[in-house]
Structure 1
């Protein structure tokens, strides 16, 4: 192997370890002397032959070139080769024939046939003695000893012993490739009982890249004698000027550099058997002999099968790791889901099972990087340091688990904190931009023993500037810093299973959150539209209520009582719509409430037939919207807009348990369908199908609007008897039976008009004077100056709440009532001293009831 330095470089400076990777070891143009080679054209004519053909087959190279193979070997052998060519499959396939006669004598040969480009390569190895009776009978006992061994060191040690028995070599090592392509001897069996290379490491340059690729394609390689110069192939080049590719040739000669390397080790013969895992090179059986040693092709094939079975045992062992990891992840998934079911967040959930993760994959620290939020425990980088790791992972790592025992090799800045975190096992748990669960390990004090100095010196030799194989294989110790214990195959399996579990959970949470967010946005838009719609309606309605009440009132008192009653009816309907504590409620009561609030005397022209139904809160909310639209439309445009029309509402239960509501308007003015589809139309036609999965149909007939609605059975709590016409209304006691107040009062309310109205009500109930305060500070000053006999406190004062005032009044023994527009929630009840509550808008009757009842 030669190299040409560029200008300004010395010979040594121009050489690097990639020179070995560029050596064309598959194009050497020679074979080892123990076998002969013929290269045939597609029509079976000999185009190339090794120059040891006379010694192996008994005829000269010139005699063979250009002739058909059928003229060089006996017809039986030719027929057997042709018959077996059907077994030649794939790019790396080969036909193997053992113990066949090629010439007229009784001499036996082992034959290998494979395709190399446009050449058919046939190799012949003469058997040194009679064909072995049953070489496979020696293999099976060795294979049986591998079964049941579940730890890699035990498996490798037994395999090395078995292969040495099968091959007869002085030494057999199991050589495992590491992630950086260096190799480590994990088992060694020697005839002298000694241990020479066990536990030592060999640099990646000892087995260059193209050699590793040949080991992957051709699974057994015999070098019978390091002193063998080999036999040249004639002619050296094909007609197109290229040498024959000998990548798969079993007799392929050996690179001079590799021969020198073996001699430096004191090896006379060697054999390598590839160990594959999932089609990739996992390691090698490296067999060495102090002197030359040839093993015939049939026995080598049996040894190759032994290597296959060892590869299978490695895969089986890793499969057991995967199954164990699956069991571990299953337990973790159960724990995770249990925590999530209790309402805990993903971050809290993961850290709650950190001990379970630690039992499966040992680590010193853990980081969860979720939505760019950093959460950590144990020995880990800081948040600022970690963000550089996350950026590096996003650019360099893929969607699978990523492991490194030396973070500083990937990220130079990691040297600053390698005493806290040197090893990293990154588990991506989302799509890009990725979120990660990362396990960290502290560094370990480590010394790596190499079989000689791993640096290959470049020297000038007889063939020009080249890399000379190292001559010393004495133990060379390297002190390693900034590296953690390596992540094992089992660690990676557990991490991969955990990644799948977390990804499923994360995606479910994300999908659920996105779905909830979308539903919330849709609901928000619906509520905003409904709010705008109702505010406008309420403003118009208030004008109508004032107008209607004033036109029919005989006195100011009659007017105010009538108007106040209608406002209270509206408030009850609003409470029914927005309360969060509903139990199943009466549909008939809801219908009555809507018409009583809006229709006044016209509600007598609303006829309801059929049994009442107690419907769920969800259905109650939806039906309140629908009935509001139907009632207001009837009052504005339909049967109730004049003096003669009526509304007939029929309630009936169908066979499936659902409730049918038939709405028929009669006697009103002629109906015209709406000229445009507004929000109200959408409420009528889509609310019940969308929210309840029920049915809705509205027809605008000339004689009157007709509508059909159906509430599904799951929203029906029960059906009441037809003679039970209770409206679930709480009767208001007469004012004459209620408490009469005396003394001074206090109203704490930030809205002046509401405060003045409340003060007037309290004075009407008997208060001599009522002070008004708009803030907690003003109220406290009023109490200090002139303690009241009673008080009415608004709960929400905008930027503050009245709880401090309530506590002061409670301490002084002064009775008070709370006013709120939110409803009597548990949060309010728990934060305030015992007190009665009234809902806004309140009336003199509701205030009197609250003050007469006293605190809860």
Structure 2
């Protein structure tokens, strides 16, 4: 191989990788022990010839070139050649058995034919019919293969194969030379003469066998060098006259060998060699490398035996590895099935893959050969930027940075899987934790955001024995500008760091299976989530429509209340008080309905909401009782207004206006499934039937009838007001039939009057109208309002620093909750209530669940009464 002057000027540019550019497929010469004829199939003229044509064919080269092929071959031989060409593409050489091309009775020949560029190439060698294997080459192959498939281990399988090749061929040394992923070679098995130094387990750099040589090993199962020191037999003429270019000898068996390779062998002390390709799944797995330390020519029939053995050995190797992969995949599939089963109920599949049994380390073994032989390796899962890990892994920050890098790396690869046993060489930042993660098997299980599963293998520090220094540059030779291969093949030991035990094909297959399964899980969950979002959206639309409907109905009812209350009011004060109380009654019924999710309202609770409001010190005693009944929402709202009117009237004019008064309120289920309710007042002031029916009486008598289909009757008897209310079965949402025991509630006797104390009340509220109502209450009572605080930060400041007697706290201040304010007040032992439109049971935190709630809307009277209870 010629080196350019620029390469000589720069010695760093000269190394064995320059051999990758050597055109070894067009050497223009053949090995001298054979002969080659190149025939133009269009004319059957011999257009090129080379080699020992006199010794083998009995004709000198100059008489062959330009001659017709039928001048050399018999008519029978020409017919057979034409038939062979017609029936076969002859891309690969076809061996023609002796005596097909015998040109003289005393010289048996072996021949091979193939086609290239529309030319027929015939290669001729001397045959050796006396060889013991020449008569039965197939039996020889069978003997070589016998029992190989029963050897359980791969190294044993390869060792036995090397021994059998040596036994048949007679070479001094036969090695199984295996190619590693980085292209370097490894003597995996060896059979040798005892006098020879062993090469077993030595490594050789990838540059020792150039890329184009490996490509030809894929095309030709066998290559032969009978003697390293030979003079190549040049083709005559050099360029093919038909194509006008050098003859492509990629398939030629007698192709001349690169002078660099011959010098390489010479430096090793080898005088003859043969290589047999080992091909697995279309890729060059390795070679049978045969060395002899004196000239040796192997007959063509024996080379055919070796070629067939190499092919059969490759098939057995592939079958063996496929069987191992199949068994490993079956085992991993069982674990995968259990993994997926366990994920069925896991919302966070990242956590589920780690904490369940089996887990990801059971699925793919991350441990490897290491100084820490018990080191199981580690695995990490990144889902929605949350990282979960198991075993020995980098830190969360390091994993986050690694996955950011992997996002681009995996997008470029396109298959969602990244594998390396030397992460620090791929990504220098990983050198910081190569003791934990020199090996990485990464699987992407989503696209946006990137979710990853990452298995980490620790660094394996080991000594590698090389056949000579793999990094030593070659030298320029003395005979012109020629590349000289390295001369030293003494064992050179290198300590290798930053490498992990390589991931095998079963690991990669398992990772692929997991990715497919998880993508299916993720996609199904996305689909479910989309359906849930759509359902939630439709439900939200329905709820908004329902809310709009109810708000408008409520506003319509309030508008009607305003109108009707104004008709019966005798003064502005009377109007405001009546309207306020009626709105309060509706609000209480709404609160009860909200607590039940608008399923209905318990009748007893509805009654208590109304009558408890009037249990002041001067109130009379009430008796309530009846079965457990749940009213339908519409009936509950209507009945609440009716009960409000009855209770308000009793508190102003009837039994609840004096301490001696009595109120009995009982109900029972009718035979038809409806409800009968009796209101009876006794012991109060004398009652006279009013001359004009007011809005309250009209509401009681007509609203129930129109809203529920029921009926009611109000009577003004001398002993007190009586009212009978009947509700149809449709007004009952649910009834147990079991009566609620009558309960008598007696208000305490009036307490002696106490002198009024000036109080300081902290007000935390963000509604200006509510603040004005509270301010009016404070002015009427002669108390001082502290604040008001409309923001949480201001409220916290006042709660911590001001001397107050009690506090009114709005739950929600412009989106911020007032829990921290309440906790400060509780710590200072200052009583307080929450004011809110929320249902307290749904919003209060556990530590504040016992705090009293003053529900909005409320009146000034409600504020005063609640404050007095606090104080």
Residues 388, 836 of structure 1: alpha-carbon distance in 2 compared, 3 angstrom cutoff: closer
Aligned CA distance change for structure 1 residues 786 and 840 (closer, same or farther; 3 Å)? closer
1:167 equivalenced with 2:169 (yes/no): yes
Which residue, 260, 271, 274 being the options, matches 2:274?
271
Aligned position for 2:377: 364
Structure 1 residue 215 and structure 2 residue 217: aligned?
Answer: yes
Count the aligned residue pairs.
Answer: 717
Tell me what 1:480 maps to: 496
CA distance in 2, matches of 1:539, 1:561: 15
Distance verdict in 2 for CA 1:149–1:540, change over 3 Å: farther
Structure exhibiting the larger radius of gyration computed from Cα positions: 2
- Give matches, 1:136-151, under 5 Å: 136-151=138-153
C-alpha spacing 1:525/1:824, structure 2 compared with 1 (3 Å): closer
Q: Residue 740 and residue 497 in structure 1: after superposition, are their counterparts in 2 closer, same or farther (change >3 A)? A: same
Report the secondary structure of 1:77's partner residue. Answer: helix
> Equivalent of 2:235, from 230, 233, 256?
233
Mapped to 1, the partners of 2:67 and 2:640 lie a distance apart of 113
Question: What is the CA deviation profile of residues 548-568 of structure 1, one whole-angstrom value per residue up to 9, with x for unaligned ones?
Answer: 643776886886676556556
| Larger mean Cα displacement after TM superposition, 800-809 or 77-86 | 800-809
TM (normalized to structure 1)?
0.69
User: How far 1:175 moved relative to its partner?
Assistant: 1.1
Q: C-alpha displacement at 1:215, in angstroms?
A: 0.8
Cα distance, 1:278 vs. partner?
2.3
Q: What is the deviation of 1:288? A: 1.5
Counterpart check, 1:81 vs 2:96: no
Per-residue deviation, residues 680-726 of structure 1 (Å, max 9, x unmatched): xxxxxxxxxxxxxxxxxxxxxxxxxxxxxxxxxxxxxxxxxx99874
Q: Structure 1: where are the runs of 5+ without partners?
A: 599-611, 613-642, 650-721, 762-768, 848-856
Query: 416, 421, 427: which is aligned to 1:411?
Result: 427
Separation of aligned partners in 2, 1:350 and 1:194? 54
| Distance in 2 separating the partners of 1:778 and 1:534 | 42
Secondary structure at the residue paired with 2:251?
coil
**Do residues 546 (structure 1) and 561 (structure 2) align?**
yes
1:337-376 paired onto structure 2 within 5 Å = 337-339=341-343, 341-347=345-351, 349-350=353-354, 353-357=359-363, 359=365, 362=368, 364-372=377-385, 376=389
Task: Name the CA distance, whole Å, in 2 between partners of 1:547 and 1:175.
Answer: 102
Match of 1:402 in 2: 418
- 1:545-594 CA-partner distances (Å, limit 9, x unpaired): 3356437768868866765565566556656667899xxxx999578789
SS in 1 for 2:238: coil
Name the counterpart of 1:625. none
Q: Secondary structure at the match of 1:267?
A: coil
Match of 2:52 in 1: 52
| C-alpha distance in 2 between matches for 1:392 and 1:561 | 68
- Seen in structure 2, the aligned counterparts of structure 1 residues 777 and 199 have a Cα distance that, compared at 3 Å, is closer
C-alpha contact 1:456 1:469 (8 A) present in aligned 2: no
User: What is the deviation of 1:841?
Assistant: 7.0
Q: Distance in 2 between matches of 1:545 and 1:502?
A: 61
On the 8 A contact 1:427/1:437 being kept in 2, the answer is yes
Alignment CA distance shift 1:84-1:105 (3 Å): same
Q: 1:385 to 1:810 in 2, by over 3 A?
A: closer
Offset, 1:284:
1.2
**1:459 alignment partner in structure 2:** 475
How far residue 202 of structure 1 moved from its aligned partner, in angstroms, is: 0.5
CA distance in 1, matches of 2:746, 2:788: 26
- 1:245 alignment counterpart: 248
Offset at 1:281? 1.5
Q: Secondary structure at the match of 1:465?
A: coil
Q: Which moved more, 1:570-579 or 1:165-174?
A: 570-579
Rounded to whole Å, the distance in 1 between the matches of 2:308 and 2:59 is 34
CA RMSD of aligned residues (A): 5.4
Moved more, 189-198 or 287-296: 189-198
SS of residue in 2 equivalent to 1:180? coil
- Per the normalisation by structure 2, the TM-score is 0.68
Alpha-carbon contact 1:238-1:244 (below 8 Å) kept: yes
1:420-457 CA-to-partner distances (Å, cap 9, x unmatched) read: 54333333333366443333333333221111122454
The residue that corresponds to 1:98 in the other structure is 97
1:273-309 Cα offsets, whole Å, 9 max, x none, are 1122221212111112233333333333332232223
Q: d(CA) in 2 for partners of 1:806 and 1:11? A: 80
- Give the conservation status (yes or no) of the 8 Å contact 1:113–1:120: yes
CA contact (8 A) 1:224 1:292 kept: yes
Question: What are the ranges of 5 or more consecutive residues in structure 2 without an aligned counterpart?
Answer: 369-375, 602-628, 642-672, 674-702, 710-727, 778-782, 790-794, 864-871
Deviations 1:231-265 (A, max 9, x none): 22211102354110101111112111211222222
Query: In the aligned structure 2, how far is the partner of 1:535 from the partner of 1:124?
Result: 103
Q: 1:187 matched to which residue of 2?
A: 189
Alpha-carbon distance in 1 for matches of 2:286, 2:582: 96
Who is 1:285 aligned against?
288
Which has the higher mean CA deviation after the structures are superposed, 96-105 or 217-226? 96-105
- In the TM superposition, what is the alpha-carbon distance from 1:225 to its structure 2 partner? 2.5
Q: Output aligned runs, 1:297-446, within 5 Å.
A: 297-319=300-322, 320-321=324-325, 323-328=327-332, 330-332=334-336, 334-335=338-339, 337-339=341-343, 341-347=345-351, 349-350=353-354, 353-357=359-363, 359=365, 362=368, 364-372=377-385, 376=389, 378-380=392-394, 383=397, 387=401, 390-391=404-405, 394-395=408-409, 398=413, 399-431=415-447, 434-446=450-462
Correspondence for 2:37: 38
Q: In the superposition, relative to structure 1, how do residues 64 and 822 fare at CA in structure 2: closer, same or farther (>3 Å)? A: farther
In structure 2, the residue matched to 1:852 is none
CA 809–492 in structure 1, closer or farther in 2 if over 3 Å, else same: closer
Q: Where do 1:681-720 residues align within 5 Å?
A: none
Deviation string 1:599-622 (CA, Å, 9 cap, x unpaired) is xxxxxxxxxxxxx9xxxxxxxxxx
